[in-house]
Amino acid sequence: MNRWEIAKELNILSLPVIVFHYQNPVEESLHIIKANLQRRHLNEGQRAMLLLEMDSFQQELEQQQQEAQERLRLSKGQGIKVVPQGTTLKGENGKAVDKVAKAKGVSPRTMYRAKAVKKANPQKARAVKQNKVSLTKAYQQVKAEEKAEEVRELQEAERLLTDLEIMDKLGIKVQPYDLWQFSECDDRFGHDYPGRIPGQLVAHCLYYWTEQGDTVLDPMAGSGTTIDVCELFNRRVLAYDAHPCREDITQHDMAVQGWPEQTAEAKLIFWDPPYFKKVDDGYGDKSISRLSRSAYLAFFEHMATTIPDAFHGSLAFLMSPYRDIENPLDSIWVHDYVNLFLSHGWHIQDLLNVPLTSQRVSPQQIKRFRDSKLLAWLMRDLVVMERPKS
């Protein structure tokens, strides 16, 4: 409900207003930013972004004023009268923005970070201004992207780095246990998407089960996390999805078309399917998450039996159990999938626990889980399988 609607609700039908007349849109924008800066609930990052925005409008306004003065100077004696536009906001312009920031309680460190984010990624700067992401987070993301860019440049210059050197440059620490914990998705890999996974998870799979130059196949690529990781780790990638959301993913419905012919070329299949109905309508109408329980399991059985014989690599299968609270017998556990593969000649090469991040569970949900004696679903396994080598 906006303020006018609340006023009407309270039977307040006339409100005093102040009408401003602006000489031009820049002046209007400046006025709006200044009014926004007065809002009490802004955090420091938001204030820093508004100050930077104010600074650039201020510079634009000054530029306009200078041009107007120049026109006035040139027109003298020619009978043309040009009036300089706008109002001067002395003391808040150019480099003085840091002084204004100090007066508004924004630290130099915050200003430094805000400038870095604005320069590197204006879209992210907007997100900070709208409080969709904190400045600290946005700054970390910008720095992380810089590191990725550095790796890309080195690779373009054909300076081959080892996997560990790439990990090091990207700030990824190898987790040497069979429990991998990644706190959240990383903006350098994939994008906002239902069921997206942290790129670090894919990077670890590449590190443990492939070599540089190998081909990796992702049959259900989603936002393309695997593609972005493979690019940085010098792997070829073949990515498919029934509903591709980017051009480097090939449209391919696994339920209808089966394994792509190119599967034989891969050294690793990295497979992150929908976890039955967990994301439910998050995917399109061709998604296997729309199938009934029996059709969904039959799909996996079919896929397990039809992986081309010419494929000699590993299959890294990422799966989370689906608990059916109303009908517990209809739950699907990770071993239900694994048994399908084992009964068709596959064996387990490695088994790891890669929990979902607890950030996905809101405090309200946690309370509900506690109160109703239910367990929140964080468990997820990575089952790496292969077939006996003949």
Ligand X SMILES: C[S@@+](CC[C@H](N)C(=O)[O-])C[C@H]1O[C@@H](n2cnc3c(N)ncnc32)[C@H](O)[C@@H]1O
Judged by the rule CB under 6 A, the positions of this chain that interact with ligand X are: 190, 193, 195-197, 220, 222-223, 225, 241-243, 252-255, 272-274, 283-284, 286-288
In the complex, minimum distance from the CB of residue 153 to ligand X, in angstroms, rounded to a whole number: 25
In the complex, minimum distance from the CB of residue 195 to ligand X, in angstroms, rounded to a whole number: 3
Can you tell me the distance from the alpha carbon of 310 to that of 246, in angstroms, rounded to the nearest whole number? 29
- Strand 250-251 with 314-319, pairing: unpaired
Among 143, 190, 122, 200, which Cα is nearest to 166's?
200
Nearer to ligand X, 128 or 254 (CB): 254
The conformation of residue 289, written as its DSSP 8-state character, comes to G
Give the CB-nearest residue to ligand X: 222
In the complex, minimum distance from the CB of residue 226 to ligand X, in angstroms, rounded to a whole number: 7
Nearer to ligand X, 58 or 263 (CB): 263
Residue 254 CB: number of other CB atoms within 10 A?
20
In the complex, minimum distance from the CB of residue 258 to ligand X, in angstroms, rounded to a whole number: 10
Residue 291: φ, ψ to 5°: -75, 160
Residue 55 CB: number of other CB atoms within 10 A?
21
Among 86, 84, 64, which Cα is nearest to 75's?
84
Nearer to ligand X, 118 or 204 (CB): 204
Nearer to ligand X, 243 or 293 (CB): 243
In the complex, minimum distance from the CB of residue 91 to ligand X, in angstroms, rounded to a whole number: 49
Among 306, 219, 321, 314, which Cα is nearest to 276's?
321
Nearer to ligand X, 115 or 277 (CB): 277
Among 348, 350, 259, which Cα is nearest to 308's?
259
In the complex, minimum distance from the CB of residue 302 to ligand X, in angstroms, rounded to a whole number: 11
Nearer to ligand X, 208 or 259 (CB): 259
